[in-house]
Each structure stands twice: as C-alpha cells, then as structure tokens.
Structure 1
Amino acid sequence: MEDRLLALAAAVESRAEYAVGHSELGPDHVLVDEGGNPVVIDIAGLMYFIFEREHVSLRIRLRISTGL
C-alpha cells in the first residue's frame, strides 16, 4: 500500500496557477453597482487556492440552498 501511495504522490505535478477565491461565495455575497459590475460584499472568506475548489464549493452550496 505504501509503494502504491508513493507512486501516486510522485505522479502529482506541482500546480503553476492559483487564484484568489471566496470559500462561501454565493448570490447573497455579491451586489451589483450602478454600472452593472458585480461587487463582492463579504471578503472574510477570501483565500489563495486552486480555482477548482471554489467552483466545487459554489456548486455544492447552490445545490443545497436551491434544493437542486
């Protein structure tokens, strides 16, 4: 098992691109200004991480809150 785990870990490449994201970003954390631009109003959850994490978190949150 250890050999398999080490082989899998060795196959993971370092990520070259990260993004700033909001761990609980949803419709209730964004307003629209007079020019129609989105404005984040709750920055307490901002983090620097891989973009896919934000995408998955938002999909889960919206699915739960909308019941889809």
Structure 2
Amino acid sequence: MKADIHPDYHEIKVVMTDGTEYTTRSTYGEQGAVIRLEIDPKSHPAWTGQHRIVDSGGQISRFNKRFGGLKL
C-alpha cells in the first residue's frame, strides 16, 4: 500500500440491539470506538420475517378508501 493515502484500520466494538457485543476491524472512529446499532439482523423485518405496517401520512387509509370496495 502507498503510505499516507489509506484510512486507519483498527478494532472497534459493535453492540447489537439485544446487548450482545463483538469486536471487528473498521475505519470508523478511533481505536476502541463503540457503535450501538438501532437495527440489526436480529431485529430488522427483512431478516426476521415479521413485518409491521407503518401508515405514514395515512397512505394506507387513503388506498383502502379509494380501492376498498373493489372486488376481484
């Protein structure tokens, strides 16, 4: 590697949503930095298969109002 062009690669601690921790190497922060995850594979619907419907701005309500009477 060329000198002085690559970021520092060091060990950091990652804390999952359930409190479990592991150490990995990263360019994030400084040596010994801690990353606390808000979403991880143990809690994200893409990995757990448990989906929640979030009705932001009433989009689902408007859809149901507009197409609710439609029979297939």
Q: Provide the TM-score with structure 1 as the length reference.
A: 0.21
Higher RCO by CA contacts (8 Å cutoff, separation 6 or greater): 1
**Greater share of residues in helix:** 1
